[in-house]
Chain A
Amino acid sequence: MENVQSVPSDEAVEKILGYLLRTGVLLAAGIVLAGGFLYVGRHKNEAPDYRLFHSESVALRDIPRIIRDAVSLDERSIIQMGILILIATPVVRVAFSVYVFLRDRDFIYVLVTLIVLTLVLYGIMDG
């Protein structure tokens, strides 16, 4: 059985990671909910139409702009910022794994994790 290795499980690390993930999701949901109330309150008598696709305006696609407009309480940008935080939670998890593999001197997996991190960030920074 010398080839069978156990996966290291470190309770402290898992606890911090679990806490980070839960906090990220709750924070994102809270911000989306707050933005949602503002959005419904300000537009409740409009008729939403999603039948035809026309890409969202640049204001809701560009990350620095979303943050800027959310701070000035634009309801759509607030929701979009909550969604950005949600998208960031798995990224935080991957970044955290880089640290865990570094700590365990598991350098193949430091590299593997850095590749994954690059791919995720590439997706988010795209465009």
Chain B
Amino acid sequence: MHLLSFTLLVCLSSLLAGFLGALTGLGGGVVLVPVLTLIFKVDIHYAIGASLVSVIATSSGAAAAYLREGYVNMRIGMFLEIATCIGALVGAYLTGVVSPSVIGVVFGFALLHAAYASSRPRSEEWGLDQPPDRLATYLRMNGTCPTPEGPKPYRARSIPLGFGLMTLAGILSGLLGIGSGAMKVLAMDQAMRLPFKVSTTTSNFMIGVTAATGAGVYLSRGYIDPGLAMPVMLGVLAGSVLGAKLLPSASTKQLRTVFSAVIVVMGLQMIYNSLTGRL
């Protein structure tokens, strides 16, 4: 395949991934690596390098809008970024030492988890039925969340468990070149019992910083190839902007089901190809 057609095809696929990722809330980065490795036969190191770059682009592009809505809890986000950044550094170093087939298997399971997590019921916890958590109070993590009936207070808890899960999310982000939003939301709405909207927006707010930490390591290790990262980044960015524009008017329930099914198939394929040494 010539460079011009390769670049255009990769750009179009990335556009579609970014578009569907933004529309379904599942994130575009998660399908990029399977598409690049399984369809375009790109080595997994180059694929995760290009993918992580596109994760930063969509996160920084969306962060401005999330901040405005008032759901983001800056303190919780910043505190947990210590965990995700440490994890991202560990994960990015691991990428250089573990074999591609191990990365592929872990990637497959991360895909299956992302698909499963999107079908999970949303947390409607506010944590007001129990006494305030001492650590959360000391760190002033309790906040208010806008609701149709006005601002509603909520309380955070299980900070150490949340911190631990966030470290794992960071490791996965650095190892696989993804935003690992599903894992971040899990840490916040399942472990720390935060309202769903607070979890998802704070997670989005954190993804860019986590990804930048991993991407810095990738760049100096030579995983970021400009010829590949260019069409991926531009495509995902354009696709996610388009998806976010259409989101308010689109009915996404069926689309989410279809996209989740695609993610499951890709996850299984990644695991199969890794185990049979074809990745």
Contact = CB atoms under 8 A, between A and B. Distances in A.
A39 B43 CA distance: 21
Given A6-B153, A113-B78, A123-B89, 12 more contacts: A21-B61, A29-B237, A32-B229, A35-B226, A56-B223, A61-B219, A61-B222, A116-B81, A116-B209, A119-B82, A120-B213, A120-B216
Contacts, number: 222
Interface residues of A, number: 71
Contact of B56 (A7, A86, A119, A122): A86
Contacts of B74: 7, 97, 100
Given A3-B132, A21-B63, A40-B3, A48 B227 contact: yes
A17 B233 CA distance: 22
Interface residues of B, number: 73
Contact of A53 (B41, B45, B234): B45
B216 A83 contact: no
B43 A53 contact: yes
Interface of B: 1-4, 6-7, 40-46, 53, 56-57, 59-61, 63-65, 67-68, 70, 72-75, 78-79, 81-82, 85-86, 88-89, 92, 132, 137, 139-140, 142-144, 151, 153, 155, 208-209, 211-217, 219-231, 233-234, 237
Contacts of B212: 87-91, 120, 123-124
A67 interface: no
Which one of B53, B220, B230, B237 has the highest number of Cβ atoms from chain A below 10 Å of its Cβ? Answer: B230
A120 B210 CA distance: 8
A35 B75 contact: no
B75 A109 contact: yes
A113 B75 CA distance: 9
B4 A126 contact: no
B226 A80 contact: yes
A11 to B, nearest CB: 9
A18 B81 CA distance: 19
Highest count of chain B CB atoms <10 Å: which of A3, A24, A62: A3
A68 interface: no
A40 B144 CA distance: 50
The 6 A-B pairs at the shortest CB distance, nearest first, are namely A55-B222, A124-B216, A127-B220, A18-B64, A79-B226, A123-B216
B222 A60 contact: yes
A115 B195 CA distance: 27
